[in-house]
Structures are given as C-alpha cells and as structure tokens.
Amino acid sequence: MAVWHSERRAALPVSIRLELVGCLLSSLPQAVSISATTTIGAIALALRSGAMVDLCLAIAIAAIGVVRVVVLLMYRRRSNVAATLASIRPWYRWHAGGLVAQAAALGLQSLHAFTNGDTPAALLALGFVLAFCAGACARLSVVPWVPIATSLLMLVPTIYGALMSPELPIKLAGVFLIAFIPVIAEATLYLHRLVADRLLAVQEASHRASHDGLTSLANRAMFHQQLALACERTATTGEDFAVLYLDLDGFKGINDKMGHAAGDQVLIEIAERLRLSIGSDDLACRIGGDEFAILVRTDPDGAAVTGLADHLATTIAGPIRLQNGPITVGVSIGVAYSSAHAGTPSDILNAADQAMYAAKDDSGARWRVASAGRRYSHVA
C-alpha cells in the first residue's frame, strides 16, 4: 500500500492512513451513484452506436459497478472489526481495482465514441468522463493515486480520440482536456492535503488532551478514564488489576538547586524508564508534579506486580546524567490491588496513594502494599 505524505512532507502515521483508507471504503453512496450513471451512459452509447464493442464495454462497466458495490457492502458489514492495514488491504485492492477497471472501460468507450464520427455520442461520452473525474477528485482524494489514475485512464483515450477527429471544435476540446489533467491532479493532491492535515490536527489535539505535554505519558484525565474502564472489566469479567502510585524522593531539591530545566529533564528520564519497564497492556501516567501512577494487570499471586515495584525502585534510583553531572532520585511506591479494593476507581487510587505515603514515612521501605482494611504490609 502506498505511503502518503501530508503537506509537511512527513510520512503519515499508520492511524491516519487507516482512517484515509477507511474513508475510501466508506464511499458506498458515491459508488452506487457513479456505477449507476456510468452504466446508464454506457448503455445509451451502445444503443446509439449499435456496435458490439460498445455493448461489451457497457456490460463490463455494469458488472464492475456491481462488484464495487458488493465489495463495499461486505466491508461495511465487517466494519465493527478492529481494522489494521493488513486486514483492510484486500478490500482496498478490490475497490481500487474496480475503480481502475471501470475507468479503463469508460475510457475505451469514450475513445470509440470520438473516433466513430458521431458528435452527439462523443459529447455524451465527454460528459460522463468529466463527471467521473470530478466525482473521483472530490470523494476519493483521500487516497490520491486512485482519482489521478482513473482520470488518466479516461482522459488519455478521450484526448486521443478528440485530436483524431476531423472537426475543429472536437480537436479544441482535446486540447482543453490536456490542460485539464494537471488541474485535476493538483486539485486531488490539494484536497488530500486538506483532509490529511485535518486528521493530523485532530489526532494531535486528542493526544494533547490525554497526554502530559512534558513527558508524553498519559495524563491524569486519561488515567482516570482507563482506571474506570478497568474497574468495569473487573466487575463484569473478574479480571484483576493493580495500581502503583509513585512519588519521587529528593526531586524538590533538584528543582531548587539546579533549576526547573534540570527538573524537567529528570521527569522526562523517569518517564522513559517507566515506559520501558511496563508491558504493552499496561499504562503509565504522570499524575502531576513528580507523582506518577501505573495501571497493570495482575497474576493470581501478584508476583508480577511486586516484581515490577522492585524493578521500578531500582531503575528509578539509577544515575541520571544532566549537564552539570549525574544526579540520583529515590522513589516511594504504593501498591493497591483491585481484588482488595473493588469499589470505585477513587477507592483503589486512594489506597495506593496512602500506601505510597506509608512507604515514604518508613525510610527503610521503597514500596508498600495497601491491604483491604487500609493496613499496609511492609514488603520491600
């Protein structure tokens, strides 16, 4: 599948490419309309000329239109399935291939109309070609090669047929169509850039709303949203999870002595260490200031969570290289299990928070686990 680029000349993210191809595959009304009008036009041209070639092309155009509509209907029925580039590639190829084949057949019929000396038929064919080009440019510019390729497949035979005509007005129409090719291409690319850049802007705005601007971790709002969903899953499926609440030790001194720029670098480094320590199904977020939280799935005995807490305490305590030399920070971690705090999201978060303060108050503990009765067992 092609790699498309926005006006910024950067490769589009997979999520944006998925949305663009999804827009292409959601063009069922346009597919029905174009297929119906081109079929009617092709049949009209075939009846007017009485030529076998026009009849065959009309049948081909109608059959291809039916295939396109069926493909889009089948895709719509399975559109609730999570899409990936690999899963939608067959649908994309069938639909794009149908468009190309339909355009090629229409181009051949237009060529025949222009070369058989029937001016009304040629003008009718020209009208259908221009309508197809305009519709493809307007609706299919999300994947720009499709409208550009289909336009060329229709315009090139039409131009050739017009230039071969003995009538001067028809020849001039062919000349004008040559100038129309770069216009349709530029319009298609312009519309594509508009759509792609709008999708990028929406994605960036969504990311800013749900992620911390400094560390790029999920923010407090995103964490609360995912924590609520995890509580709902626990209530319906019994799937347990744990919350780890982290507060850096000694961070205020770094801010006071070395400045906020150094403090920001420390937070960015800590965030990266958290990101590398958790699994792909886990979520790390910055709650605010020097406080972080992690939402993780648990195993039956909780060994993975306690192992993660140990690992985080050791990893975060490692030296952080700054401009003025390496520094270190500590961390206090509170752990709360959903199995012990299966009430509201705030219940388990408060339990983890209180366990974190208990670990901070006990200078020998790096982390503590909150019990169901808010009694904290010293495990580290």
Other Cβ atoms closer than 10 A to 11 = 12
Check 54, 212, 240, 290 and give the catalytic one: 290
Q: Are 216 and 204 in contact (CB under 8 A)?
A: no
To the query of whether residue 290 is one of the catalytic residues in this protein, the response is yes
DSSP 45-79: HHHHH--HHHHHHHHHHHHHHHHHHHHHHHHHHTT
- How far is it, in rounded angstroms, from Cα 231 to Cα 212? 23
Distance CA(21)–CA(12), nearest Å, equals 12
Buried b (16+ CB within 10 A) or exposed e, 165-178: beeeebeebbeebe
Residue carrying the six token digits 């993210």: 13
Q: Which of 104, 66, 84 is nearest to 19 (CA)?
A: 84
- For residue 40, the cross-strand partners are none
Phi, psi of 21 (to 5 degrees): -65, -35
CA atoms within 13 A on the CB side of 337: 23
Q: pLDDT means per 10 residues in the chain (380 residues)?
A: 46 85 87 88 89 92 93 82 80 92 93 89 90 88 93 95 90 92 94 92 88 92 92 85 92 86 92 92 92 87 84 92 87 89 81 89 79 50
Give the pLDDT of residue 265.
Answer: 93
User: Residues near 278 by Cβ (< 8 Å), separated by ≥ 6?
Assistant: 284, 294, 296, 308
Distance between CA atoms of residues 175 and 185, nearest Å:
17
Local structure of residue 320 (DSSP, 8 states): E
Helices (H), the chain: 14-25, 28-49, 52-77, 85-115, 119-140, 145-164, 168-210, 220-237, 251-258, 260-277, 303-316, 345-361
The pTM of the whole model exceeds 0.75: no
Is the CB of residue 377 less than 8 Å from the CB of residue 368? yes
Beta bridge pairs of residue 294: 244, 284
In degrees to the nearest 10, what's the CA dihedral of 168, 170, 171, 177? 150
Task: Judge whether 38 and 64 are in contact, CB under 8 Å.
Answer: no
Give whole-number Cα distances, 310 to 38, 253, 273, in Å. 68, 24, 13
pLDDT of residue 5: 44
For residues 129 and 109, what is the distance between their CA atoms, to the nearest angstrom? 10
